[in-house]
Amino acid sequence: MSEDSKSIVNEEERKRLVTEIGKIKDVLDSFKYGLNFEDFADELFKTIDRQTIVIKQLDEKMVTIIERMNALE
């Protein structure tokens, strides 16, 4: 990523997503020991739901930015 580009996800959100991915990895690693797949599936779907919400928020922000840019033209 170039130095000029900026992240569209704030630092707090990035850290939270990294933590969630780490939890999913831990659950995947636990399959070696025969732990419950349903717990993993539930966590995975919760993560997907949260990421979907974040993507919708980013989309709304992008629409707002585009509308403002069009208004300035």
Band of pLDDT at residue 3, cut at 50, 70 and 90: very low
**Residue 67 within a domain:** yes
Tens-digit pLDDT profile for residues 57-68: 999 999 999 999
DSSP string, 9-66: S-HHHHHHHHHHHHHHHHHHHHGGGT--HHHHHHHHHHHHHHHHHHHHHHHHHHHHHH
**Residue 47 within a domain:** yes
**Residue 5 within a domain:** no
Task: Say how many domains are in the chain.
Answer: 1
**Residue 6 within a domain:** no
**Residue 42 within a domain:** yes
In terms of residue numbers, what domain contains 44? 11-72
Which tops the pLDDT comparison, 13 or 35? 13
Tens-digit pLDDT profile for residues 17-56: 888 888 888 877 776 656 667 777 788 888 888 888 889 9
Which tops the pLDDT comparison, 11 or 2? 11
